[in-house]
Structure 1
Amino acid sequence: MDACFAPTETQWARLDRFADLLVAENARQNLIAASTVPTLWVRHIADSAQLLALDEREGGGLWIDLGSGPGLPGLVVAILSERPMMMVESRKRRCDFLRAAAADLDLRHVEVVEAPLERVETRSAATISARAFAPLDRLIDLSARFSTESTRWLLPKGRNAVKELALLPQAWQSLFHVEQSRTDAESQILVGEGKIGAKQRGKR
């Protein structure tokens, strides 16, 4: 875990339990690549936890995690903070896992929404994250209606962050900058702030 995090004893226990639940469920459905299981703590848990350091604003507010899948970063963030967490996932088996894991870990501030994002009721998000959801332009287009002037976007994009950002309309590009991942020297995170409105969408 990154040195900037100081999990409590309860949080450490929940992270450890989550790791066990994730590995066990991965044997039943493909949540993470089997090749990454030996490096689970760095590759997935610390990689998710680092997003909290990119949004340390007072007061928190609703965090919406898109395409939550195995609960990365949603469940990790929920374990390490009291932020209300809404995890959006369209696949039933993955939602079943997310609900069971949240109940097992006693994360009462977690809500799992089982639906394609297009069918999710619009809510104002303080933070929007997506670790492996969709190409950047489609991701932003689908989630723009959840954004406000103060929304923080946290979008891990691996090695292609700069390339994907360059393909966006200029109005979108201006909201984002690139941060280096603390867990992978070859990965980057797109960090943005602000509302994407109808007038911005599609402009180049």
Structure 2
Amino acid sequence: INGESTTLTISKFDLDKFKEIEDKVANGESEKLQKEFLKNNENNQSMSIPKPEKALPGEPIVTVGFSEHPELSEGMKFPISQADRLLAELDKKQRSDRELYENSGWYHKTDFTVEYSINGEKNTYEGRYDIGDGDGSLTEHIKSYAQYMLKDDIIKSFCSDEKELDENKRNYKYILNELIPLFEDFTEKSKYKYTPLITEDNY
């Protein structure tokens, strides 16, 4: 389903460099802001995040695609239970940073693919998660997106005829009724569910 037309480290921010770049925004140089900030942030001190946890039998696997987050690389794989916690924590941290004048001002676009199996049938879900946009866990993001797309005026704007409308409705209802419960079940079963991946001491 293409649901959305959709050891790790976290770098600490170079605040002095950000202030310098921020001044450029006021002078009309905002197009270069993000690339320049990320480039100068690459060599900053970083902190470790645990390696991918062992997946439960049959657990959906999340693969990171292209990501603007400096510490997420294409091809990284996590079980859904860990990806849920990891993205929720990264999102919370980045969201907090965005609200501070002297810190990071962007979200990090991150493509992802979830490989899963229901009733013996293998399938994939593809989407994009914006780290720092306040979406919470990956499952919460997918659920919110499907609920949004099922709004009558929204889904109709993406469909050219009744056939396409019916098909899209079935897909999003499938996500809510089948996919989300599957993801939530594995997240609930995980023995690591109360183990933070990022601690306050690392900030």
Scaled by the length of structure 1, the TM-score of the pair is 0.28
Scaled by the length of structure 2, the TM-score of the pair is 0.28
Q: Which has the higher helix share?
A: 2
Greater relative contact order structure (CA < 8 Å, 6+ sep): 2
